[in-house]
Every structure is written in C-alpha cells, then in structure tokens.
Amino acid sequence: MNKKSKTGSLLRYLKPYWFWAVLSPLTMIGEVLADLLQPKFMESLVNDGVLKGDQQFLLHTGLQMLLIVLLGGLSGASCSIFASLASQNFACDLRKDVFKSAMNLSFQQTDRFTTGSLITRMTNDITQMQNFVEQCIRMFVRSGMMFVGGIVMMLSLNHRFGLILLCSLPIQLIAMTLVLKKANPLYGMVQQRLDTVNNVMQENVNGARMVKAYVQEERETRRFTDANTALTDANLKVAFIIARLSPILSIVMNFSVVGILYLGGLQTLAGAMEVGTIMAAIDYNTRILHSVMMVSMMFQSIARGQASGKRLNEVLSTHPAVEDGTYAPEKLGEITFDRVSFHYPGFARPVLKNLSLTIRPGESLAVLGATGSGKSSLIHLIPRFYDVCEGELRIGGSSVREFDLTTLRNKIAVVLQKSELFSGSVAENIRWGKPDATDAEVRRAAEIAQAAEFIEKMPDGYDTVIAEKGASLSGGQKQRLSIARAVIRKPELLILDDSTSALDLATEGKLRQAIRREMAGTTLITVAQRIASVLDCDRIAVLEDGALAAIGSHDELMKTSPVYQEIYQSQTKEGEASHG
Ligand SMILES: Nc1ncnc2c1ncn2[C@@H]1O[C@H](COP(=O)(O)OP(=O)(O)OP(=O)(O)O)[C@@H](O)[C@H]1O
Ligand SMILES: [Mg+2]
C-alpha cells in the first residue's frame, strides 16, 4: 500500500500536463470505435455484399469502412502524440527534480547511493516511469474499451458466443495473474543489477588510465562480465516467466476460434446464421483476448514503474544530512573547535578525538600530521561537508549548524586534496570560483597561484581547452589551477588541503609569498606533509591519530614538542639522505 502510494505520488509531475494526459485517451476512443466497427462492416460486406452478389453495396460499404479506418488511424496518431507530450514532459520535470535532489545530497549520502546507482536512477528508472505513464494513458482506455466493447459487439452478433468467452476468459485471466505475480517482484532486482553494471562501468571509464597502468584489463573485464551476466540472468528470468504467458494465450485463442466455428457452423447449418457473422465473431474474439494481453503488458509496466518509482522516491525523499540554518553574518570571525570528536557515519573508528583548537581571523595556520591522522577530516568540518559528532564547532561565536550554508560556503574557499577540474577552457575553470569575474581578475588569480606562466605558454593561453578532469595537465598544473579557482573568490578563509604537494619548493615558496602579499587579512589554513612548506605559518598544529599533539610557532614547537622535533628530524634527515 505504502509502496503504491509512493509511486503514485510521482504522478504529481503529470499535473501540469493533465491536458495532454486527458486528451490522449479521449482521442483513443475514436481509434477503438473504428476498430470495433470493422468486424461489423465485414459481416455486412460478406453477408449482404459477397453472398448476395451486390456490387453496389460492396463499393458503398467498402468506402464507408475505409473512411472509418482512416479516421481511426488519425485519432490513433493524435493519441500517441498527446501521450508522448504528457509522458516526455513528465519525465523531463521528474529528471530535473531527481537531479536537484542528487546534487543536494551530502558527501556521505552520495557514497551510500553510489554514483552508478544515481546515474541509473536518473536515466533508466526515469525511462521506466515514462513508459509506465505513457502505457497507462494509452493502454488503459484502449484495452478497457476494447474488452467491454468487444464483448458487447460479439454478444450482439449472437448471444451463444458468450459461452465461448465464458470458457476462454477465466483461463486467460488466471494464467495472466499467476505469471505476473511471479514476474513483478523481480523488476526491483533487475534495476539493482543494472546499478552494479553502471557502477563497474563508471569506475572503469573514470579509472581507465589506472586500469591500463596496472594491466588490470582482464580482471576488470571479468568484473564487468560478472555484473553484466548477473543483469542478463535477471532479465532472462523475467523473460522466461513472461514467455509462459504467450503459448497459453494463443492456445486459448485457437481453441476459442474452433469453438466459434463449431457453434457458428451448427447455427449456419440450421439456417440461423451466415458466414459473415462467424468471421466477425472470430475477429471480435481475437480483439477481446488481445485486449487482455494488453492489460498484462500494462501490468508489467506498472510493476516496472513501481520498482523504479520507489528508487526515485528514495532519492527525492532523502533530506540533505546537513540541514541549512539561517544565520548569515557579514564576517565569519574566529573558528573554534570545542572538544570536537568525529567519526564517519557508519564507521565506528573515531577520526578526531576531543580536539580543541581556535583559529584567529587573519592568521595562517598549518595543520601537520602523518597520513590518516585526520587532517582532511578536520578541515571538512568547517564548511560543513560533515557535522561534528561530539563537542561543538563555532564560527564567530555561533555554532556552525546555525549558519546559512550558502553564506558560509561562499566565504570559504577550499582547495580539496584531490583537484577536480571540469572540461572547458582554463579561464572557465578559474572563473568557476567566481562566475562574474573579469578577465583581469582571472589573470590576477592565476598570477597569485603561480599558474600564469604555464597558462601563457599554452597554445591558446587562457582559452586553451583542457580535457575532462584536467587530464591534459600535469599534477602541479592542476593543483595551481585549483588554487587560482579558490583565490579568485577572495574568500575570508582559504583552506589548502595538501594542495601544493606536487610543486617544487621554490614555486611553492613563491605561491605562499604571493598569497600572503595579495590576500592579507584572509585566514589561511594549510594542510601539509612537509614541514618546509609551512615554516612561515603563524602557528603549526600537529595532529596525531586524530588528537591535537602540539600547537605553536615553529620555534616554540622546536623547543617544547618532542613529536614536532621528531617529524622535523625525520624530514631533514630524509632530505640529507636524498641529497647525499
Ligand atoms: N569518507 C570516509 N569514510 C570513512 N572513513 C574515512 C573517510 N575519509 C577518511 N576516512 C578515514 O578517516 C581517517 C582520517 O582520514 P583523513 O583523510 O582525514 O586523513 P589525512 O590526515 O587527511 O591523511 P592524508 O595526509 O593521507 O590526506 C582515515 O583513517 C580514513 O581511513
Ligand atoms: Mg588528507
């Protein structure tokens, strides 16, 4: 019940197009009437024309029949057009909303759905819903009218034919119910397996270089083949079940034709019926049984639509885990981690433990620590990519949960550890940070990020188109473009998460100087592995296994913190070792 009403709720997207959705079945009436009249015409053509040799009647009635067929065809075509208008627009609006919901999911919600599944939902599942709507609009009226109208017309030929229907229809209906009952629950599984295929495909298309580098084509192909075979198996399972229906239906159909011939033959011999009537009865019989088959097809697309509708509703009804607040201050102010603990949803292991830290406006803070110590997790909390589990994160004295997310995120620019670029020109990628930036601003940002030099050397300068995900750039070039994209926003808080790891120390130094010079007043948080990268920071926070091990300037830490001394020594030793 719940499932049904949920899928039904998606029909609200049909509301703006109700006009087409109503007009379509109305025009369908014309087509069905034409179809229902045809056997009747045939009856009189045979009985009164052919058998009596009346040429005039044949011509006259033949032309009438042709006209009706034409009109029927015309209304059938209009019906299809209107149904398409309704169902395509319905799907378009639905797709827009599902896309919007998918974009609003938090990091962790996207991870849970998986990218492949989200893509399947936005494509295949919406197509299933669209088919469902179109089938219902067109077939519901058609099969219903044909079924009832066919029976009425057949009985009007001779009520004894009712006996035939009384035998054939129940068998057909029972067969249909049994088969559909078995097949319908499988559609959810089909969609799930389609998710897996899409997931594997998406991972491999994205990671094509990696697959080649590790010569894993065979393994990945096997993984894909497994998913693909599983999907095919599920589809075949459904097809095998559905296939049982058609021989049953055709046997019933043929037996009933024999029945009509037998009954009609007896009547004809008794002089109570003519050949044309038998022909018309066979025709009606076929159409009635055919309409039952149509109903079975309709039920199939309802079942598919229901499975897909449920999956779409899951996306639509997922509320963003991070709920928006309303507080929108002019300036952010001090950032305070107050005894913050954090673990990723669904993972028990704590990533940050009882961490207290205050970041003053305008200061430059470095976050140092071994890989996996929780540096990225720490900075992800500030723009609320995730929420803290215990303790509180305050910005300017207010809990970060109270902030209007757009305001908050607009004041912060994060350069994520993994630089993500989009296909498009260099300038477009930088402007992504601030869509209304002037050319001069773009150039300025590139200069600060130490990217101007290599951009100007590119064939078309700032208009050079870079490949999808920045594949045509070096690691360091990608990092600098990502930094330019952040710098152009003129944020109050700039976070660089290991964003200069691919730069040589000289370039990195120039970059840091430029940021310091050009962005005075901006709070800067630099996550780094190398101490050399952060020597100039006001303070350095050392993370160890999710806890704050030490904080202070380089000189202070060298005096007071054994952990820091250890890192320093290991890095300088490493340096010496690699030089010597
Ligand atoms: N999305 C996630 N879901 C679950 N666990 C995660 C997720 N991201 C990170 N972790 C875990 O949290 C811990 C801290 O990760 P984090 O990325 O913060 O480390 P890091 O200090 O930035 O390391 P690195 O220097 O390698 O970037 C790790 O043990 C990691 O396995
Ligand atoms: Mg990290």
Regarding the beta carbon of 429 and ligand 1, being less than 6 Å apart is answered no
* Ligand 1 atom nearest residue 543's Cα: 21
Which is more confidently placed, 575 or 507? 507
Question: What percent of the chain clears pLDDT 70, i.e. is strictly above it?
Answer: 97
Does domain 329-411+529-580 fall under CATH 3.40.50.300? My reply is yes
Fold matches, 2-316 and 329-411+529-580: no
512 in Cβ contact with 483 (< 8 Å)? no
Q: How confident is the model at residue 116 (pLDDT cuts 50, 70, 90)?
A: confident
Q: What is the pLDDT of residues 296-321, one digit of tens each?
A: 888 888 888 988 999 999 999 988 77
What is the whole-number distance in angstroms between the Cα of residue 408 and the centre of ligand 2?
A: 22
Domain spans of the chain, in order of start: 2-316, 329-411+529-580
Nearest CA to ligand 1 atom 29: 372
Q: Where is 233: in which H helix or E strand?
A: helix 217-243
User: Can you give the pLDDT at residue 370?
Assistant: 87
For residues 51-55, average pLDDT = 88
What is the whole-number distance in angstroms between the Cα of residue 374 and the centre of ligand 2?
A: 7
Q: Tell me which of 113, 114, 342, 373 to substitute to probe ligand 1's pocket, judged by most ligand atoms within 8 Å of the beta carbon.
A: 373
Q: Is the pLDDT of residue 5 over 50?
A: no
How many CA atoms lie less than 13 Å away from 354 in the CB half-sphere? 1
Residue 330 to residues 379, 410, 454, Cα–Cα distance (Å)? 21, 11, 36
Q: What is the pLDDT of residues 205-233, one digit of tens each?
A: 878 878 888 888 889 999 999 999 999 99
Q: What is the pLDDT of residues 444-501, one digit of tens each?
A: 999 999 999 999 999 999 999 988 777 788 889 999 999 999 999 999 999 999 998 8
Q: What is the pLDDT of residues 534-569, one digit of tens each?
A: 888 999 999 999 999 999 999 999 999 998 998 888
Q: Is the pLDDT of residue 255 over 70?
A: yes
Q: Which two tokens mark 206?
A: 């994205």
User: Can you give the pLDDT at residue 419?
Assistant: 80
Regarding the beta carbon of 372 and ligand 1, being less than 6 Å apart is answered yes
Nearest CA to ligand 1 atom 12: 351
Question: What percent of the chain clears pLDDT 90, i.e. is strictly above it?
Answer: 64
Angle between helices 275-316 and 187-206 (to 10 degrees): 50
* Among the listed residues 282, 286, 36, the one whose alpha carbon sits nearest the alpha carbon of residue 142: 36
User: Can you give the pLDDT at residue 374?
Assistant: 93
For residues 156-180, average pLDDT = 91
User: Can you give the pLDDT at residue 6?
Assistant: 60
DSSP type of residue 390: E
**Ligand nearest to the CA of residue 367, numbered in listed order:** 1
User: Can you give the pLDDT at residue 524?
Assistant: 95
d(CA 214, CA 465): 29
Q: How confident is the model at residue 1 (pLDDT cuts 50, 70, 90)?
A: very low
Nearest CA to ligand 1 atom 24: 371
* Ligand 1 atom nearest residue 498's Cα: 27
Q: How confident is the model at residue 378 (pLDDT cuts 50, 70, 90)?
A: very high
* Among the listed residues 434, 431, 483, the one whose alpha carbon sits nearest the alpha carbon of residue 454: 483
Domain spanning 2-316, CATH architecture: Up-down Bundle (1.20)
Q: Is the pLDDT of residue 573 over 90?
A: no
